[in-house]
Chain A
Amino acid sequence: MSEVNKLPLTHVAATIADLFDVERPALSEEPLLFVEDAVRDLCRKPFDRLFIQNPDCMAQWMINKYPDAMYPVQKLTQIAVPLHSVMPSVTPVNFGTIYTGAMPAVHGITEYRKPVITIDSLFDSMIRAGKKIALLGQKSCSMSNIWLERDMDYFVIENEGERAEKVRDLIIEDKHDVIVVWTGKYDTYDHKYGPEDPHSVAAFYQQGQLFEYFVETIKRNWKNHNALIGFMSDHGCHAVEPTEENKRHLGDHGTDSPLDLNVVHYYGVVTEKE
């Protein structure tokens, strides 16, 4: 992979806000109009449910190398948009950008730390529009920390499988307009074992399988809703050279290499008739 994708993550927040018919976050950059057009072609009615899975560290080069890992996601979505992370390509910086639509210097997280973001975000737009939001993550993960102090329901669950079960329960209960879940097992294994270690590759495949599980649950339970669904990662990764201390090609990210920057976001719809 030689080049950085053309479009940055700063376009995501306004795109989702437009599609969900809520105000764009105050400092967000412009939306992706071709995505809006394509989604509206798929569903002419207003969306009343939003589901987003935020898998951590799903590098585009891994998707290209293991294309069948994304088949569950691809078959359930209709649009794939190659995007690039903002610098530095680390988690809190980029989830900050995804949900505010703003560059790091604007939202305030410019390095690997997890303070609460205080500028306007997609979550704030949703809350102002009266939407009930569920956000699921792990205690130490960025998503569970940088969006605190907002009027939404936080579910902090350490085990990824148990977190998935909670997502399933929330979908079935159908009390939230917006469900956002962070899934970070691949990122954890990338750092612990390396991007292409068998443990990591299995976790990479699991991310797509989880999405399939969530969306099939949505199809069975949100029959009276029109749902916008998304599979949206924050950054990529690369293998570092082994050292005397550690013989493995462990994974890392944070650089301006296309390996670390390039990701693919998937958008789809689940309509009432399905």
Chain B
Amino acid sequence: MLYLIRHGQTNLNKTRRWNCQSDEDINEEGIKQAEAAADAVEKLPLDLILCSPLIRTRHTCEIINRNHVPVIYDKRLMERCGGIITGQPYEYYDHDLYYNLNTKDFPEGMEPLSDFMGRVHELLKEVEEKYREKNVLLVTHGGVSRCVKYYFEPIPENGAINKDSKTQNCEIRAFAFGVGEIKMEEQV
């Protein structure tokens, strides 16, 4: 089973700005969210945690990892590099363009969505091969969670991956290889 949790709230989340790869810690609300999520994570029979190396995910991971499961930090779980939009208000760049695989022109420095999805899917393929029989938790980001969803589901023909794929701060999702997304209520 593959589980996924998004980091706790950061101040950029709170002020509706693009977090991207800014290395900002979670705020007080984010700490509370992580502490609440820890109650659920504690009940999962985890063998391994794979965590994005950014501070907001590391800190979230420290809080939720009450069972002291080994952690591997993997750069492929980092949020998409947003280039010049990083730290800007959401209105600065269109969400639909940001999350569409058909978008060809990117703001300066932005990681192409296909590259971003490619690195996430490469990691998931490795996880599927190595840990298919294990219970693994990904501690990661909103953008990555969309890519994870579309590892298990076909990508829409119009290239848009932002519909019904958002993961809230510290929301936990569950996936089974060969099956797809599983409702968390059935897991915890």
Contact B130 A262 (CB under 8 A): no
- Measured between beta carbons, the chain A residues less than 8 angstroms from B65 are 82
The answer on a CB contact under 8 Å between A71 and B69 is no
Binds B, one of A73-81, A154-162, A215-223, A246-254: A73-81
Chain B 166-187 interface mask (CB, 8 Å, partner A; 1/0): 0000000000000000000000
Which residues of B are found within 8 Å of A34, using beta-carbon distances? 48, 70, 72
Which of B48, B55, B68, B74 contacts A71 (CB under 8 A)? B55
Cross-interface CB contact of B67 among A3, A41, A75, cutoff 8 Å: A3
Q: Which residues of B65-120 are within 8 A (CB) of A? A: 65, 67-74
**Closest chain B residue to A258, Cβ basis:** B68
CB proximity of B85 to chain A, nearest CB, Å: 24
Contact residues of B: prevailing secondary structure? mixed
Interface string of B7-45 (1 = CB under 8 A from A): 000000000000000000100000000000000000000
Contacts of B73 in A (CB 8 A): 74, 77-80
> Do A5 and B68 touch (CB < 8 A)?
yes
Interface size on A, residues (CB 8 A): 25
Please give the distance in Å from B77's CB to the nearest CB on chain A. Answer: 11
Count of A-B contacts with CB under 8 A?
Answer: 46
| Complex Cα gap A75–B74 (Å) | 11
A6 within 8 A of B: yes
Chain B residue with the shortest CB-CB distance to A6: B68
In Å, the complex CA distance between A79 and B75 comes to 12
Whether B68 and A82, one on each chain, are in contact in the complex, defined by CB atoms closer than 8 angstroms, is yes
CB distance from B142 to the nearest CB of A (A): 21
In chain A, positions 166-195 with a C-beta closer than 8 Å to chain B are none
Partner of B58, one of A38, A60, A71: A71
Residues of A within 8 A of B153 (CB): none
Within 8 Å by CB of B62, from A38, A64, A79, A81, lies A64
Residues of A within 8 A of B74 (CB): 78
Interface residue from A35, A63, A75 paired with B53 (Cβ < 8 Å): A75
A245 interface hit (Cβ, 8 Å) = no
Given A37-B130, A75-B53, A77-B73, the answer on whether A67 and B68 have CB atoms closer than 8 Å is no
Closest A residue by C-beta to B25: A68
* Residue of A with least CB distance to B62: A67
When the two chains form their complex, are residues A82 and B53 in contact, meaning their CB atoms are under 8 A apart?
A: no
Closest to A74 in B: B58
Residue from B48, B53, B73, B130 with most neighbouring chain A CB atoms (10 Å): B73
Q: Complex: how many Å from CA A82 to CA B70?
A: 6
- Docked complex Cα distance between A78 and B70 (Å): 11
A-side residues, CB < 8 A to B, are 3, 5-7, 32, 34-35, 37-38, 41, 60, 63-64, 67-68, 71, 74-75, 77-82, 262
Q: List 12 A-B contacts (CB under 8 A).
A: A3-B68, A32-B70, A41-B126, A67-B58, A68-B25, A78-B72, A79-B73, A80-B71, A82-B65, A82-B69, A82-B70, A262-B68
